[in-house]
A and B are shown apart, each in its own frame.
Chain A
Amino acid sequence: MAIEIKQLIKQYRGPDGSVVPVIDISDLTLADGEQVALMGTSGSGKTTLLHLIAGILSPDSGHIYISEGLDAPVDIGQLPEAARDVFRGRNIGYIFQTHHLLPGFTALENVLLGMSFGGKPSDPAWAKHLLKEVGLSDRLHYKPARLSIGQQQRVAVARALANRPKLVLADEPTGALDSANAQQVLELIRALCREVGAALLLVTHDRDIAAKLSRALVLSELNLAGKKP
């Protein structure tokens, strides 16, 4: 799945009514199956950009074309909200900075939950395979509270891949982990993305991590928000 961003603008309205520009990207592309690091300082709009690509937010203007093979590209920003939700459920895996697992669900149920909105039949065997791949085959029925932070994040990785997405958006997935765990989780994400053939856009502050990916983008260099006179 390839992404092509054109003239993308997103602004927030401050409490005093003032307009705060957050995203102003004229051109950005991500090739099919490419694994790209997105770097930038805090508040530079990394999470907002991921939310825009995922269709959680809609842009004020511009286009986010997402194409898959020979199909005509979809401008996710122009889709109605419900269609964006469905598109996201079917095609995009999202890994949050904190795991965001549902506390009442076991590891396996959390992964199965990732399949619930993709319009495909539930596949417990695939869910178990993913959990095995992230080293949690003996923790299938553990609830998040009984798992370590690193294990919780691994469950979140498995959940993001549950629906065999074509694009994985990872928002500082190793931010809460120690160095060893961070490396492990990163490798898991990369390996699983390769396994399902998904492109990866990973937000990180860590240059070492960024160096392991095929390309690193620095958002401040792309984003003109607040820089225009």
Chain B
Amino acid sequence: MNLLQLVLKQMRQRALGTWLTMLSVLLGMALACSILILQREGQSMFAQTDYGYDVLIGPPKGSPLQLTLNTVYHLDVSPGVVPYVVYEDLSRKGPPGPGRADFRPFVKQAVPFMVGDSFEGRRIVGTSPRMFGFDDAGQRVTGEAFMYRAGKKYELAAGRAFGAKKFEAVIGSEIAAALHLRLYDDKLTEEQNEAQGGAFRATHGMPGPNETPDIHKPRWHIVGILQPTHTANDRVLFVPFISLYAIAEHEGGMIDQALLRARINPATVKPEQLDGVLASLGIDPGKVPASVKNKFKLVATQPTAGDAHEAHDEQAYDLDAQGDIVPHLPKEEWSLSAVMIQARGPFQAEQLLYNFKLIDDRAAAVNPASVMRDFFSTFLSGTTTVLLVISLLVTVVAGVGILVSIYNSVSARMKEIAILRALGATRKRVLTLICIEAGLIGLVGGLAGLMVGHAMAAVASVYMNRLMGQTINWSLIDTREWKYLAGVVILAVLAGLVPALKAYRTSVAANLVAS
């Protein structure tokens, strides 16, 4: 019978105490493990540097963090808008007109990003087919496609990319499964498609649980379903950004935004003063469609839900001969939530950042990687460190548990220890025996804790996927976890040392005679 067999035998003899002590170690380890995973995955998720794009262009006065969270993770609300002309400048392939900036040396690709509406609580993002690797004519773009992560581009699991000026949509994989959406069936009517999940109507904004949803009139046909990206984009419905200008309420909103940019409260503008105010802002009132003016007048005078719906009934767009959307809203009033830029290189990305910081005040530019790194180091990193300290304390408490448990066991086993000594076990052997027992409790409890911690992370991954469309790599056991486990075993052995010393000092003769 070797030492290990002896130890296992002793542990089995007092199974309940052994299991309970292991349980306390398990809890400490599981807690520490899940926090280490949270820290690691939080860092990889939020402080990643492998975005497929280098620069985000957003409103001039918005928060960089809000812009990044909103654009990359589809969290929070949009911090404001950037004029569409900025996107035009950034995406222009030919020489700029007089007085217009030339970003061609810096920008490899620019993709528009516009938010504001939702469907069944999921975000609708207005963008261009370029996001999926197609140009406005539906042809696959030559050269490198837009990437949501370094080396990862969107792939369609079914269907095709939407037309740039159609009421069409490409949806994320998670949304398709969760909301039972499918591709539009041409054999069915729009209403039937909507009923069967092949088409949808957008809800204005993201209404709260107690708010009456304000549902827009147009129906978007689902023409493509994306393959999973394991990012927040899996929970998004992508539509052509132009289709969002074809909604009457949005048109009025853009007039409001133009007034607000000029520091004019839209509520103070009387309907009969509107033309004059627009002219003073450099907008030709003759180019603003009647539908927009009517909508502005209705909202300005009687801002009730019912009236707003009446305004919706106004057609805010026309369809040309190809069936493409031609919004009534003049292009000068178009705006976007952000523009995602793939720069030609790191230096060019820096140049862009400086350009919008020092020269061009129409928008602000941020590097999402550095924003998220800062966010992580100032918020997440500190929080997880506090949590880690707590788990460390839990582990130390578990260590004390081992000490108490084995100490009590040794006290109850003084006669047995004396017998072992009488049979020829040296003091060192007895000391080793107790330390192995403590170490085994630490090792088995720690390993079980490691598994439980990862199981908790797996559950969290499913939850996060539902909540944000992000998953975490719950199965990866990194070096820090192995080190922590080693620390737990060492702590357990140290905890076992106190009772082991008691056993070490056992007087054989006294304990044999006393019994």
With A100-B515, A104-B10, A116-B2 known to touch, is A56 a contact of B426 (CB < 8 Å)? no
> What are the residues of chain A within 8 A of B9 when measuring CB–CB?
104-105, 109
* Most chain A CB within a 10 A radius of its CB, from B9, B10, B427: B9
Within 8 A of B (CB), among A63-122: 81-82, 85-86, 88-90, 94, 96, 98, 100, 102-105, 109, 112-118, 122
- The answer to whether B509 touches A86, judged by C-beta atoms less than 8 angstroms apart, is no
With A98-B515, A102-B419, A104-B12 known to touch, is A116 a contact of B1 (CB < 8 Å)? yes
- The answer to whether B424 touches A85, judged by C-beta atoms less than 8 angstroms apart, is yes
- The answer to whether A89 touches B425, judged by C-beta atoms less than 8 angstroms apart, is yes
Q: How far is the CA of A51 from the CA of B423 in the complex (A)?
A: 12
Q: How far is the CB of A88 from chain B (nearest CB, A)?
A: 5
Query: Is A157 part of the binding interface, using a Cβ–Cβ cutoff of 8 Å?
Result: no
Query: Is B428 part of the binding interface, using a Cβ–Cβ cutoff of 8 Å?
Result: yes
- The answer to whether A56 touches B508, judged by C-beta atoms less than 8 angstroms apart, is yes
- The answer to whether B423 touches A82, judged by C-beta atoms less than 8 angstroms apart, is no
- Cβ-defined partner of B424 (8 Å) among A90, A100, A105, A109: A90
> What are the residues of chain B within 8 A of A51 when measuring CB–CB?
509
Q: How far is the CA of A152 from the CA of B203 in the complex (A)?
A: 84
Within 8 A of B (CB), among A182-205: none
> What are the residues of chain A within 8 A of B6 when measuring CB–CB?
113, 116
Q: Kindly supply a per-residue 1/0 record for chain B positions 475-510, scoring 1 wherever the CB is within 8 Å of any chain A CB and 0 otherwise.
A: 000000000000000000000000000000000110
Within 8 A of A (CB), among B23-62: none
Q: How far is the CB of B76 from chain A (nearest CB, A)?
A: 61
> What are the residues of chain B within 8 A of A113 when measuring CB–CB?
1, 6, 420, 423
Query: Is A57 part of the binding interface, using a Cβ–Cβ cutoff of 8 Å?
Result: yes
Q: Kindly supply a per-residue 1/0 record for chain A positions 151-170, scoring 1 wherever the CB is within 8 Å of any chain B CB and 0 otherwise.
A: 00000000100010000000
Q: How far is the CA of A113 from the CA of B420 in the complex (A)?
A: 8
Query: Is B415 part of the binding interface, using a Cβ–Cβ cutoff of 8 Å?
Result: yes
> What are the residues of chain A within 8 A of B426 when measuring CB–CB?
81-82, 85-86, 117
Q: How far is the CA of A51 from the CA of B418 in the complex (A)?
A: 13
Query: Is A47 part of the binding interface, using a Cβ–Cβ cutoff of 8 Å?
Result: yes
- The answer to whether A122 touches B13, judged by C-beta atoms less than 8 angstroms apart, is no
Q: How far is the CB of B427 from chain A (nearest CB, A)?
A: 7
Q: How far is the CB of A70 from chain B (nearest CB, A)?
A: 24
- Cβ-defined partner of B1 (8 Å) among A86, A96, A112: A112
* Most chain B CB within a 10 A radius of its CB, from A94, A98, A112, A116: A116
- The answer to whether B422 touches A56, judged by C-beta atoms less than 8 angstroms apart, is yes
With A100-B415, A112-B1, A113-B1 known to touch, is A88 a contact of B424 (CB < 8 Å)? yes
> What are the residues of chain B within 8 A of A210 when measuring CB–CB?
none
Q: How far is the CA of A109 from the CA of B416 in the complex (A)?
A: 14
> What are the residues of chain A within 8 A of B419 when measuring CB–CB?
100, 102
With A104-B9, A109-B1 known to touch, is A116 a contact of B423 (CB < 8 Å)? yes
Q: How far is the CB of A58 from chain B (nearest CB, A)?
A: 10
Query: Is B512 part of the binding interface, using a Cβ–Cβ cutoff of 8 Å?
Result: yes
Within 8 A of A (CB), among B1-25: 1-2, 6, 9-10, 12-13
> What are the residues of chain A within 8 A of B429 when measuring CB–CB?
85, 117
- The answer to whether B422 touches A94, judged by C-beta atoms less than 8 angstroms apart, is yes
Query: Is B513 part of the binding interface, using a Cβ–Cβ cutoff of 8 Å?
Result: yes
Query: Is A131 part of the binding interface, using a Cβ–Cβ cutoff of 8 Å?
Result: no
- The answer to whether A118 touches B424, judged by C-beta atoms less than 8 angstroms apart, is yes
- The answer to whether B422 touches A54, judged by C-beta atoms less than 8 angstroms apart, is yes
Query: Is B362 part of the binding interface, using a Cβ–Cβ cutoff of 8 Å?
Result: no
Complex: chain A residue closest to B513, CB-CB: A47
Q: How far is the CA of A221 from the CA of B515 in the complex (A)?
A: 29
- The answer to whether B1 touches A122, judged by C-beta atoms less than 8 angstroms apart, is yes
Q: How far is the CB of B508 from chain A (nearest CB, A)?
A: 5
With A47-B513, A100-B415 known to touch, is A89 a contact of B1 (CB < 8 Å)? no
With A100-B419, A104-B13 known to touch, is A82 a contact of B427 (CB < 8 Å)? yes
Q: How far is the CA of A122 from the CA of B1 in the complex (A)?
A: 6
Q: How far is the CB of A15 from chain B (nearest CB, A)?
A: 14
> What are the residues of chain A within 8 A of B12 when measuring CB–CB?
104
* Most chain B CB within a 10 A radius of its CB, from A81, A86, A100: A100
Q: How far is the CA of A98 from the CA of B514 in the complex (A)?
A: 11
> What are the residues of chain A within 8 A of B428 when measuring CB–CB?
82
- The answer to whether A100 touches B512, judged by C-beta atoms less than 8 angstroms apart, is yes
> What are the residues of chain B within 8 A of A98 when measuring CB–CB?
515
Q: How far is the CA of A98 from the CA of B513 in the complex (A)?
A: 10
Q: How far is the CB of B408 from chain A (nearest CB, A)?
A: 16
Q: Kindly supply a per-residue 1/0 record for chain B positions 424-444, scoring 1 wherever the CB is within 8 Å of any chain A CB and 0 otherwise.
A: 111111000000000000000
> What are the residues of chain A within 8 A of B422 when measuring CB–CB?
54, 56, 88, 94, 96, 100
Query: Is B230 part of the binding interface, using a Cβ–Cβ cutoff of 8 Å?
Result: no
Q: How far is the CA of A86 from the CA of B6 in the complex (A)?
A: 18
Q: How far is the CA of A174 from the CA of B426 in the complex (A)?
A: 28
> What are the residues of chain A within 8 A of B423 when measuring CB–CB?
88-89, 94, 113-114, 116-117, 159
Complex: chain A residue closest to B415, CB-CB: A100
- Cβ-defined partner of A96 (8 Å) among B421, B424, B512: B512
Q: How far is the CA of A113 from the CA of B2 in the complex (A)?
A: 9
Complex: chain B residue closest to A122, CB-CB: B1
- The answer to whether A89 touches B427, judged by C-beta atoms less than 8 angstroms apart, is no
Complex: chain A residue closest to B3, CB-CB: A116
- The answer to whether B421 touches A85, judged by C-beta atoms less than 8 angstroms apart, is yes
With A109-B9, A117-B429 known to touch, is A89 a contact of B509 (CB < 8 Å)? no
Residue contacts A-B, CB under 8 angstroms, 29 given: A47-B513, A51-B509, A56-B512, A82-B428, A85-B421, A85-B425, A85-B426, A85-B427, A86-B426, A88-B423, A89-B424, A89-B425, A100-B415, A100-B515, A104-B10, A104-B12, A104-B13, A105-B9, A112-B1, A113-B6, A113-B420, A114-B423, A116-B6, A117-B423, A117-B424, A118-B424, A122-B1, A159-B423, A163-B424
Q: Which 5 A-B pairs have the closest CB atoms?
A: A89-B424, A117-B424, A104-B13, A85-B426, A82-B426
Give me 8 other A-B pairs in contact (C-beta within 8 A), A104-B12, A116-B1 excluded: A82-B426, A89-B425, A94-B423, A100-B419, A100-B422, A105-B9, A117-B420, A117-B425
Instruction: State the A residues within 8 Å of B (CB).
Output: 47, 51, 54, 56-57, 81-82, 85-86, 88-90, 94, 96, 98, 100, 102-105, 109, 112-118, 122, 159, 163
